[in-house]
Amino acid sequence: MMRLALDGVFSLSYLPLRLITYSGLLTLILPLFMKPHVLMFCIGLQGTVAGAVLGAYLKQVVENTRNRPLYTVVQTAEEVGSSAGRLQRKNAS
């Protein structure tokens, strides 16, 4: 269930990327109000989360760009035409 939820979030939404952008902008403002060791922790945490989200997007891209066909061909036009000819011959006799 968790995999399905993550696939839904990462394949249909840009929200995680926007959240990374906003948290990055927030870390530009934080040095004004935080002690250096807390700031370093926040920057490291933000970098780790950003890497995880980008990795999830990269996994989604790889899954979508594999050499899988978008559809499966059951019959070709020649097969359909030849079977239609057989049906016409059966009906004629």
Given this model, what pLDDT does residue 92 score? 57
Backbone dihedral angles phi then psi of residue 38, each to the nearest 5 degrees: -70, -40
Does the pTM surpass 0.75? The reply is no
Residue with tokens 């920057």: 43
Given this model, what pLDDT does residue 82 score? 65
CB-neighbour burial class of residue 80 (10 A; exposed 0-12, middle 13-18, buried 19+): exposed
Residue with tokens 């020649």: 78
Given this model, what pLDDT does residue 88 score? 55
pLDDT values of the chain reduced to their tens digit, one per residue, 93 residues: 877 777 776 676 777 788 888 888 887 787 777 788 888 888 888 888 888 888 888 888 888 788 777 777 777 777 666 665 555 555 555
Please spell the DSSP secondary structure of 32-73, one letter per residue: GTS-HHHHHHHHHHHHHHHHHHHHHHHHHHHHHTSS--SS--
